[in-house]
């Protein structure tokens, strides 16, 4: 039974992935484009640095929940887990916020949704800047996720 439900879940996830891959190109970011990365860097300092840190270092003790049980902002550098996610996931998280992305309207998070604040291209630029900061190993890992 246990095997069966996890198997079904895996099938569900796979079918969602193939659905989404037809709607999205897999590589959304341009970490090697200097112009886009420098635009993204400026936007990052303006919009994201107050929580995720000037140097992408995240909030102190970011793994421990706050008193109100929300989570602190994680780092966006190699020490965080941003590079564990595909371009598509990162884009959607930033555009729609966590509650909408997770489809859990009651999920309380301090991460804002940037829909209507930043354009799609601006969101991609910020995330291109973040990706450009990762070491080769993390970038290759994340490229591999995008290609699956």
47 binds ligand HEC per the rule CB under 6 A = yes
Quote the distance between the C-alpha of residue 73 and its chain's center: 12
53 binds ligand HEC per the rule CB under 6 A = no
Taking the least distance from each CB to ligand HEC, the nearer of 34 and 84 is: 84
Taking the least distance from each CB to ligand HEC, the nearer of 71 and 145 is: 71
The minimum distance between CB 140 and ligand HEC, in angstroms, equals: 18
Question: What letter would DSSP give residue 54?
Answer: T
Question: What letter would DSSP give residue 115?
Answer: B
Contacting ligand HEC (CB under 6 A), which of 21, 33, 109, 146?
A: 109
CA distance 84 to 81: 5
Residue with tokens 């970038």: 139
CB 56 within 8 A of CB 130: yes
Taking the least distance from each CB to ligand HEC, the nearer of 15 and 50 is: 50
Point out which span in 4-12, 14-22, 67-75, 134-142 binds ligand HEC (CB under 6 A): 67-75
Residue with tokens 């940037």: 114
Contacting ligand HEC (CB under 6 A), which of 28, 37, 125, 126?
A: 126
The minimum distance between CB 66 and ligand HEC, in angstroms, equals: 9
Contacting ligand HEC (CB under 6 A), which of 73, 86, 88, 128?
A: 73
Query: Which residues sit opposite 118 in a β-bridge?
Result: 115
The encoded tokens of residue 123 equal: 């969101």
Q: 142: buried, middle or exposed (CB in 10 Å: 19+, 13-18, 0-12)?
A: buried
Residues forming the site for ligand HEC (CB under 6 A): 47-48, 50-52, 70-74, 80-82, 90, 93-94, 98, 109-112, 114, 126
């Amino acid at each position: 039974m246990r095997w069966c439900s996890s198997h079904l879940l895996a099938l569900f996830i796979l079918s969602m992935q193939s659905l989404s891959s037809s709607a999205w190109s897999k590589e959304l970011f341009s970490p090697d484009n200097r112009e886009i990365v420098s635009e993204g860097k400026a936007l990052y300092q303006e919009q994201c640095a107050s929580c995720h840190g000037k140097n992408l270092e995240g909030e102190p003790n970011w793994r421990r929940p706050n008193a109100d049980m929300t989570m602190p902002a994680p780092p966006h550098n190699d020490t965080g887990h941003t590079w564990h996610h595909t371009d598509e996931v990162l884009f959607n998280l930033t555009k729609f916020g966590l509650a909408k992305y997770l489809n859990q309207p009651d999920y309380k998070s301090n991460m804002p949704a940037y829909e209507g604040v930043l354009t799609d291209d601006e969101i991609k630029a910020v995330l291109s800047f973040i990706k450009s900061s990762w070491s080769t190993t993390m970038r290759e890992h994340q490229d591999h996720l995008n290609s699956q």
